[in-house]
Amino acid sequence: MHRLAEMARVVAVANQKGGVAKTTTVHSLGYALAERKRRVLLVDLDPQACLTYSLGFDPDSLERTLHDVFVRKAKVAEVCLRSDGIDGLHLLPASIDLAGSEVHLLTRTGREHVLERALRPVGDDFDFVLIDCPPSLGVLTINGLTAATEVLVPLQCEALSHRGVGQLLETIEDVRTFANADLSVLGVIATMLDERTRHGRAVLQSVQERYGLAVIEPPVRKSIRFAEAPERGRCILEHAPSSPGAEAYRAIAAAIDSGHA
């Protein structure tokens, strides 16, 4: 029984291809949901700790991170950080130590369920848990998918996207079979879309037709604003609140929050 799902809505943001805006999507959707007065926990499951950095925290100076939860030195409630940017937004931070967590998890009984079990005690404290999965299909991503009930797939609309999506869907099917029968794919978010060309739309349509995935509108267009925001420890909704990118993520968050995605 997936007990965490009875408390909060848990969404894993996953794509083993790097550079597709997973972290940007998690941060922006989390902020947009907090704007809608939802209580949100962001989980940084990536040893690169880009989400932690993007929220304005230095991963190298944190006393405790998700790694400490995985090796049973701390509980989630002891590690969570409160965002200074907006009320209701919290972070379970990462550091490079998470790379060592992978080795530790491989020795654990029920290794796929470690994150889900760790999150259960705080499940009632949040409406949404958004998990930023690393760009791989290893044990950390498997933990993220096992903890979740839904998966969002950020997709940069380029030619090599087909291969990555197919591999991810195979992994999701394995997780359904062996660890989390309730897992479903919420849909695809088109990221970094260049509307000056037809190529991006063609790739998106092709992925949609080939795999039968829903595309959550609107697409998120390319913008220099996305590159500027993390250096300031902010997401695009803070840095450029009226930009097309910010409005796109607000619309996507509204669709997810209302159950229309």
In CATH, what number is assigned to the domain containing residue 16? 3.40.50.300
pLDDT digits (tens, 9 = 90+) for 132-165: 999 988 999 999 999 999 999 998 877 666 677 8
Q: What number is the average pLDDT over the span 232-248?
A: 88
The answer to whether 240 and 229 have CB atoms below 8 angstroms apart is yes
Phi, psi of 234 (to 5 degrees): -135, 165
The neighbour count for residue 14, using CB atoms within 10 Å, is 27
The answer to whether 76 and 122 have CB atoms below 8 angstroms apart is yes
pTM of the complete model: 0.94
Q: CA angle 102-103-107, nearest 5°? A: 110
pLDDT digits (tens, 9 = 90+) for 173-221: 999 999 999 999 999 998 887 766 677 777 778 888 888 889 899 989 8
Q: What is the pLDDT of residue 115?
A: 96
Q: What is the pLDDT of residue 120?
A: 95
pLDDT digits (tens, 9 = 90+) for 93-138: 999 999 999 888 988 888 999 999 999 999 999 999 999 999 988 9
What's the CA gap between 90 and 238, in Å, rounded? Answer: 16
For 246, the domain range is: 4-258
CA atoms within 13 A on the CB side of 46: 24
Q: What is the pLDDT of residue 107?
A: 86
pLDDT digits (tens, 9 = 90+) for 56-103: 999 999 999 999 999 999 999 999 999 988 999 999 999 999 999 988
Based on the structure, what is the number of domains in the chain? 1
